[in-house]
Amino acid sequence: MATLTDQMLSTAVGKVSVRRGGTGRPVVYLHSATGEGPGFGLLEDLSDSFDVIAPMFPGFGESEGLDAVDDMEDAAFHVLDVLDVLGLERPALVGLSLGAWMAAEVATRWPDRLSALVLVNPVGLRVDGAPIGEIFGRDPDELAADLIADEQHPIRQAARMMSAAAESKQEIPFELVKPLLQSLAATAKVGWDPYLHDPKLAKRLHRITAPTLVVRGAEDRLVPASHGDAYASAIPGARRADVAAAGHLLGLEQPAQLAALIRDFLGQ
């Protein structure tokens, strides 16, 4: 596997962190509200076949500029700015959850800028009778159960420890909870109200012209299956795929299976 290296990229909102590695067709990965960073196996796997670029959204990690982002429209323009600064004309865009929503917003506004689109457990739509689960103010253990299917996954184990510590009124070191609080604050800037959706997105999905794959973790308890179906039915020619034994954070739980789907979809 290729080694991904970190760099700070100057954008209109400030400097943002970008991880990059591999060679070949450029694939840009937009992370979820979890802010997948170093050690994320999916990126290393894909870097064997592609030039993988993974920017961190403002407010996540070391990336600056959250004060300049008010809503999802600002987020979409920021992604376009990143593509421009990197000189990427028509990359494939892959997004997980929040990142998939951003990817869809980019694809509806500038369809000619993308060569392909992969939406993994996307939020961004409002589907009647199928609300997206709450992520703000949740007990860590309960939230992790909605995100990760495997009870033994390190994220589930860490969440149980945090919940147990809070219940017993133990003091949790701030450095342990800082990344979580930081990522939730950044997510709230674009997804608090309306909650994790853009009321105008559904009627714009027909504008997407890039070949599109919509992937769902079969055990996703946060976002109902009808959301993936709504994306796939509204985007012309979109394909659907499910991954067994995976929850909402599919890329963290089944990275090898997701990488294989992406590689096959992109023809590698």
The pLDDT of residue 155 is: 86
The list of the chain residues with pLDDT below 70 reads: 1, 169-178, 268
pLDDT of residue 268: 60
Res 162: pLDDT: 78
In the predicted model, what is the mean pLDDT of the chain?
93
Q: What is the largest CA-CA distance in the chain?
A: 54
What pLDDT is attached to residue 171?
A: 65
pLDDT digits (tens, 9 = 90+) for 16-26: 999 999 999 99
Task: State residue 174's pLDDT score.
Answer: 47
What's at 48, amino acid-wise? D
CA dist 251 and 40 (Å) reads: 8
Fold exhibited by the domain 5-265: Rossmann fold (3.40.50)
Q: Is beta strand 212-217 parallel, antiparallel or unpaired with respect to 239-243?
A: parallel
Looking at residue 173, what is its pLDDT? Answer: 58
What is the per-residue pLDDT for 164? 81
Task: Please say whether the beta carbons of 55 and 30 come within 8 A.
Answer: yes
Task: Say if residues 197 and 125 touch (Cβ distance below 8 Å).
Answer: yes
Beta-bridge partner residues of 100: none
- Give me 109's structure tokens: 């506004």
In this prediction, residue 40 carries a pLDDT of 84
Q: Which residues pair with 7 in a beta bridge?
A: 18
Q: Which of 32, 74, 24, 100 is nearest to 189 (CA)?
A: 74
Tell me how many helices (H) and strands (E) the chain has. 9, 8
